[in-house]
Amino acid sequence: MSEQSPRVGDGTRSVHAGRPPAEAYSPSLPGPAFVAHYHLPGEPIGPYTYGRDENPTWSRLEEAISGLESPDVPAQTVTFASGMAAVSAVLLAQVRSGDTVVLPSDCYQTTRALQQRLESYGVRVRLAPTGGDAQLDVLDGARLLWIETPSNPGLDVCDIRRLADAAHSAGALVAVDNTLSTPLGQRPLELGADFAVASGTKALSGHGDLLLGYVTVRDAELAASVRLWRKTVGAIPGPMEAWLAHRSLATLHLRVDRQQRNALALASALSQREEVTGLRYPGLPTDPAHQVATSQMRNFGPVVSFVLPGRDHAERFLAALRMTGEATSFGSVLSTAERRARWGGDAVPGGFIRFSVGVEDAQDIVADVLQALDAAK
Structure confidence by residue, pLDDT tens digits, 185-215:
999 999 999 999 999 999 999 999 999 999 9
Residue 4 domain-assigned (yes or no): no
| pLDDT tens-digit map of 311-333 | 999 999 999 999 999 999 999 99
Assess contact for 304 and 260: CB atoms under 8 A. Answer: no
Residue 261 main-chain phi, psi, to 5 deg: -65, -40
| pLDDT of res. 67 | 97
* pLDDT band, residue 6 (cuts 50/70/90): low
pLDDT at position 166 over 50: yes
| pLDDT of res. 44 | 84
The pTM of the whole model exceeds 0.85: yes
Q: Give the Cα separation of 66 and 254 in Å (integer).
A: 19
Q: Are residues 224 and 262 in the same domain?
A: no
Residue 263 domain-assigned (yes or no): yes
* pLDDT band, residue 183 (cuts 50/70/90): very high
- Mean predicted confidence (pLDDT) in 148-168: 98
| pLDDT of res. 21 | 94
pLDDT at position 3 over 60: no
**CATH number of the domain where residue 302 is located:** 3.90.1150.10
Q: Are residues 260 and 240 in the same domain?
A: no
Domain end point (choices 184, 214, 249): 249
Q: Are residues 234 and 257 in the same domain?
A: no
Q: Are residues 187 and 215 in the same domain?
A: yes
**CATH number of the domain where residue 127 is located:** 3.40.640.10
pLDDT at position 141 over 60: yes
Q: Are residues 216 and 289 in the same domain?
A: no
Q: Give the Cα separation of 12 and 71 in Å (integer).
A: 12
Domain with 67, as residue range(s), is: 10-249
Cis peptide before 302 (omega within 30 of 0): no
pLDDT at position 7 over 90: no
Q: Are residues 22 and 167 in the same domain?
A: yes
Q: Are residues 231 and 326 in the same domain?
A: no
pLDDT at position 2 over 70: no
| pLDDT of res. 14 | 96
Q: Are residues 32 and 128 in the same domain?
A: yes
| pLDDT of res. 45 | 84
Residue 366 domain-assigned (yes or no): yes
* pLDDT band, residue 4 (cuts 50/70/90): very low
Over pLDDT 90: what percentage of the chain? 96
Q: Are residues 151 and 193 in the same domain?
A: yes
pLDDT at position 171 over 60: yes
pLDDT at position 374 over 50: yes
| pLDDT tens-digit map of 330-351 | 999 999 999 999 998 899 999 9
| pLDDT of res. 43 | 87
Q: Are residues 296 and 234 in the same domain?
A: no
Q: Are residues 38 and 172 in the same domain?
A: yes
- Domain count within the chain: 2
Q: Which amino acid does the sequence have at 359?
A: V
Torsion sign over Cα 214, 219, 220, 225 = negative
Q: Are residues 208 and 276 in the same domain?
A: no
